[in-house]
Amino acid sequence: MATIRELTYDLLRRNGITTIFGNPGSNELPFLQDFPTDFRYILALHEGAAVGMADGYAQATGRTALINLHSAAGTGNAMGGLANAWNSHSPLLVTAGQQTRAMIGIEPLLTNLDATTLPKPLVKWSYEPARAEDVPLAMSRALHLSGLPAPGPVYLSIPYDDWAKPAEPESLRLLDRVVSAAGALGDDAKAGLVARLERSSNPVIILGPDVDAARANAHAVRLAERLKAPVWIAPSAPRCPFPTTHANFRGLLPASMAGISRLLQGHDLVLVVGAPVFRYHEYDPGPFLPVGAELIQITCDPDEAVRAPMGQAVVGNVGLILAALADAVSDAARAAPEPRQRPPRIAPGEAPLAPERVIDLIDELAPRDAIYVNESTSTIEAMWQRMRWEKPGSYYFGAAGGLGFAMPAAVGVQLAEPDRQVIALIGDGSANYSITALWTAAQHGVPVVFVIMRNGTYGALRWFAGVLNAGGVPALDVPDIDFVAIATGYGVEAVRVDTDDGFAAAFAKALEAGRPSLIEVATTWKSP
């Protein structure tokens, strides 16, 4: 009879999971002993980085990624990453080792107290099996639940002595289980939505990350072209669901009530697909919608549907619904939107470079199918305005508003997409939250190009201090950090540049290197 550990590895294989991200401790060693040769373990030097790598990998593959954390301490270190995963609907299975069952009651060192409560509310399900024999069923349930709509992280706390116990014979049935979700529109519902769209005199489409996650970008393009509708990207979007080069593309909506309402003025119907309604940030009070506008939301997340303060919501498979609408709507008789005016390219300048100039150089020199992982928070708007993102899965950004996502996520995305170049744009403040990801990239030869935009300050925070009229705030600057020395110490080839020619040469070399590279470029700062 197989042990619980052996059955669990078989279960993972059957579900296509042979990569594990983690930072193990003593409680996790019994699961990892005699590690199968057909699996790979991606070691991160901090649990937050492990979650970021798994998050990027899960988003890029669209499949559940497995994370191995160390009890309560490791879970605590990983919570910021779980916040990102929760908000981006990333399917993650997080396992944490628990103390041996024989001692849990006396709470020895490394006991995960209240283990199921600890990761909440940032997981869909949190569980510690009541007995060792329940571990395979818990793993099966977690695997399937993580990927069902809306996808998200799940958490299992497993006592380390459970792995060696024999599995019950009936547990073998778990190996053949298949759980799938439908979520297409019925005929009547589709006809009602199509009629409402065709009745609109001036519709606008707002797209969110779940469109890109469903790889439904082409359906969004077809729908926008048939409706002759402009397309905005939902506020603070962590993915790019629509080609930024398309004539209907308008840009990224601001994360404020008044700002959104102002930009949607004149539209009678607002169709929001694959996004919350809306994820506000800056407090800029105003009406939720302009006068005379109605809103329809299409989402995979029931919680996002019911918490919206306005409009009609449809919960289902975002990709299937978009495809059905694009197939069914008639071509509108009105004129198509005029292409937006793209900002002119920044001319070569003196050191330090304008961040827009760096973005222009990257856009010009990088492969057209490159993938960008961003955590240069003061240049978000400039990236959306200037970058030419055309393929699905071209852009990733931390969904929860915290820092530390992009460097490890870039490693995870590159592991998932070995045939596309991943470029990580990182602010010098952001980089310090997960700089250890460089070591993992070096150890596994993951050829991410890391570009550190060094302006010596927390740019976005400095801007927000102005918005809040918060003068005299301390700790907004981060001078005197030598990222080249840090990267070199982790085994990554690195260079410092401050001119156009220097950056272009370093970037071209990094693209050809076939190994991780870091470029530290001196940039100016201005309000985003």
> 476 in helix, strand or coil?
coil
Q: In the annotation, is 26 catalytic?
A: yes
Q: Which of 25, 56, 80, 152 is catalytic?
A: 25
Q: Which of 22, 28, 97, 146 is catalytic?
A: 28
| Separation between Cα atoms, residue 46 and residue 383, nearest integer Å | 29
Number of neighbours of residue 84 by Cβ within 10 angstroms: 29
Q: Which of 47, 128, 304, 356 is catalytic?
A: 47
Q: What is the token pair recorded at 86? A: 């929760």
| Separation between Cα atoms, residue 5 and residue 34, nearest integer Å | 10
Q: Which of 311, 401, 402, 456 is catalytic?
A: 401
Q: Which of 26, 201, 330, 527 is catalytic?
A: 26
Q: In the annotation, is 401 catalytic?
A: yes
| 81, 48 contact by CB (below 8 A) | yes
| Separation between Cα atoms, residue 131 and residue 109, nearest integer Å | 21
| 44, 440 contact by CB (below 8 A) | yes
Q: In the annotation, is 281 catalytic?
A: yes
> 279 in helix, strand or coil?
coil
Q: Which amino acid makes up residue 452?
A: I
Q: Which of 70, 89, 144, 246 is catalytic?
A: 70
Q: Which of 170, 281, 349, 381 is catalytic?
A: 281
What are the Cα distances from residue 204, in Å, to 67, 200, 221, 223, 231?
Answer: 40, 10, 13, 11, 6
Q: Which amino acid makes up residue 213?
A: A
Place of tokens 């302009």: 290
Q: Which amino acid makes up residue 304?
A: E
| 400, 369 contact by CB (below 8 A) | no
| Separation between Cα atoms, residue 494 and residue 432, nearest integer Å | 16
The helix-helix angle for 355-365 and 500-513 (nearest 10°) equals 40
Calculate Rg over the CA atoms of the chain.
24
Place of tokens 């529109």: 185
| 116, 133 contact by CB (below 8 A) | no
Q: In the annotation, is 375 catalytic?
A: no
| Separation between Cα atoms, residue 15 and residue 444, nearest integer Å | 24
| Separation between Cα atoms, residue 116 and residue 490, nearest integer Å | 35
CA end-to-end span of the chain, whole Å?
Answer: 62
Q: In the annotation, is 170 catalytic?
A: no
User: What is the β-pairing status of strands 203-207 and 92-98?
Assistant: unpaired
Distance, C-alpha 165 to centroid of its chain = 37
Q: What is the token pair recorded at 380? A: 């978000």
| 204, 290 contact by CB (below 8 A) | no
DSSP state string for 438-471: HHHHHHHT---EEEEEE-SB-HHHHHHHHHTT-T
Distance, C-alpha 357 to centroid of its chain = 26
Q: Which amino acid makes up residue 120?
A: K
- Positions annotated as catalytic residues are 25-26, 28, 47, 70, 281, 401
